[in-house]
């Protein structure tokens, strides 16, 4: 088993707000991230797949295919978007880095686990989302 | 021989913006700014690089005390723009918050706050792959 990781970047805006809480509590817990006009980040999405290299191609997955999957499933939905306002899964879920990692996993898991013609069948191993170079969240499908 | 030297420091701020000019039609905005014109905006981790220059102080060996530069940048730039939506800042009510314009405004704010003739340039990196630089008129 070998792991293979690909990175991509997207730029998006967001804010943190829990509708169940008072304004004061939101501001106390989320600080400047609660400002309702939002703010933004350059996110880095890191997707790791695991599998055996195909005996013919030597690939765990075709990297061009993985790039296309990441673009189609995640970047097309998140890049240059306001996550709270424009991305369905964050209408009721706060788009923290943790939740973005989980949501990206959910978007990718159904596609990557299936394999494609001409590529070895690899499993999604982990999704890591960097909000800044110093902060990231990682999800391994609940493992 | 001049004893002028330069000192640079990098700061980060996270902000959102939407590129949209009231002087242009919706359609031209769309073709000009592309996905940067999306209605709700998007965001970046901007890296603001500040270069100051001057004579090396013979007592301290410094062009400028880093602590003083940090304080000035914090008070005039970071507090103002970090974790905000740039479009809502008074500076960008009538001006598109492109990073070119942000760069010029940051330069002006810092120029006014720093000792005369010390600011050399402001460079703002919007992503790892593009940056803008302004050195004044």
Q: What is the CATH number of the domain that holds B36?
A: 3.30.479.10
Q: For the residues B75-87, what does the mean pLDDT come to? A: 98
| Domain residue extents for chain A | 2-139
For residue B56, what are the domain limits?
Answer: 4-65+80-131
Q: Which of A54-68, B45-59, B68-82, B89-103 has the lowest mean pLDDT?
A: A54-68
Q: Which residue in the set B12, B38, B85 is minimally distant from A80, CB to CB? A: B38
Tally of domains in chain B: 1
> Would you call B24 helix, strand, or coil by DSSP?
coil
What secondary structure letter does DSSP report for B113? H
CB contact under 8 A, A85 and B40: yes
Closest CA to A42 of A131, A103, A137: A131
Distance CA A11, CA B41 (A): 10
Residue A108 in contact with residue A66, Cβ under 8 Å? no
The structure tokens 């600011």 sit at B119
| Paired tokens of B85 | 């939506």
Distance CA B11, CA B74 (A): 9
What secondary structure letter does DSSP report for A40? E
CA distance from start to end of chain B: 26
**Reading across the β-sheet that carries A135-139, which strands appear in turn?**
A81-82, A2-14, A39-51, A123-132, A135-139
Q: Which of A63-67, A84-88, B11-15 has the lowest mean pLDDT?
A: A63-67
| Paired tokens of A111 | 């596609």
Q: Provide residues of B within 8 Å CB-CB of chain A.
A: 12, 14-17, 35-36, 38, 40-45, 82-85, 87-88, 127-128
Q: For the residues B17-36, what does the mean pLDDT come to? A: 96
Query: Does residue B55 form part of some domain?
Result: yes
Query: Does residue B119 form part of some domain?
Result: yes
> Please, which residues 43-82 of chain A have a Cβ atom closer than 8 Å to chain B?
79-82
| pLDDT at position B1 over 70 | no
Size of interface A-B (CB pairs under 8 A): 76
Top-tier CATH class for A2-139: alpha beta
Q: How many residues does chain B have?
A: 137
The structure tokens 């008129």 sit at B137
For residue A143, the model assigns a pLDDT of 83
Using one digit for the tens of pLDDT, what is the confidence trace for A16-52? 999 999 999 999 999 999 999 999 999 999 999 998 8
Q: Which among B10, B11, B13, B14 is the top mutation candidate for probing chain A, defined by the most A β-carbons within 10 Å of its own β-carbon?
A: B14
Query: Does residue B72 form part of some domain?
Result: no
| Paired tokens of B98 | 């492109």
> ipTM of the assembly?
0.74
Strands (E), chain B: 4-17, 42-55, 84-85, 119-125, 131-134
Partners of residue A37 in chain B, C-beta under 8 Å: 16, 84-85, 87-88
Q: How many helices (H) and strands (E) does chain A have?
A: 5, 5
């Amino acid at each position: 088993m070998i792991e293979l990781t690909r990175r991509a970047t997207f730029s998006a805006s967001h804010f943190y707000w829990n509708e169940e809480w008072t304004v004061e509590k939101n501001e106390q817990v989320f600080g400047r991230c609660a400002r309702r006009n939002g703010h933004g980040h350059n996110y880095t999405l890191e997707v790791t797949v695991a599998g055996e290299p195909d005996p013919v191609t030597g690939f765990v997955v075709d990297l061009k295919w993985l790039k296309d999957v990441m673009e189609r499933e995640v970047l097309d939905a998140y890049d240059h978007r306001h996550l709270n306002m424009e991305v369905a899964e964050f209408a009721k879920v706060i788009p923290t880095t943790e939740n973005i990692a989980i949501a990206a996993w959910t978007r990718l898991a159904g596609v990557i686990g299936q394999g494609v013609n001409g590529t070895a069948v690899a499993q999604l191993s982990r999704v890591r989302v960097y909000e800044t170079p110093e902060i990231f969240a990682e999800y391994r499908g609940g493992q | 021989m001049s004893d002028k030297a330069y000192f640079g420091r990098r700061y980060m701020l996270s902000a959102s913006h939407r590129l949209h000019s009231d002087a242009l039609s919706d359609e031209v905005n769309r073709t000009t700014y592309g996905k940067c014109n999306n209605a709700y905006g998007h965001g970046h981790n901007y890296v603001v690089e500040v270069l100051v220059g001057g004579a090396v102080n013979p007592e301290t060996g410094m062009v400028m005390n880093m602590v003083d530069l940090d304080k000035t940048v914090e008070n005039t730039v970071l507090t103002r723009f970090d974790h905000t939506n740039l479009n809502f800042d008074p500076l960008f009510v009538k001006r598109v918050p492109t990073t070119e314009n942000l760069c010029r405004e940051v330069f002006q704010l810092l120029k006014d706050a720093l000792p005369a003739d010390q600011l050399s340039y402001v460079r703002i990196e919007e992503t790892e792959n593009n940056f803008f630089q302004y050195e004044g008129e």
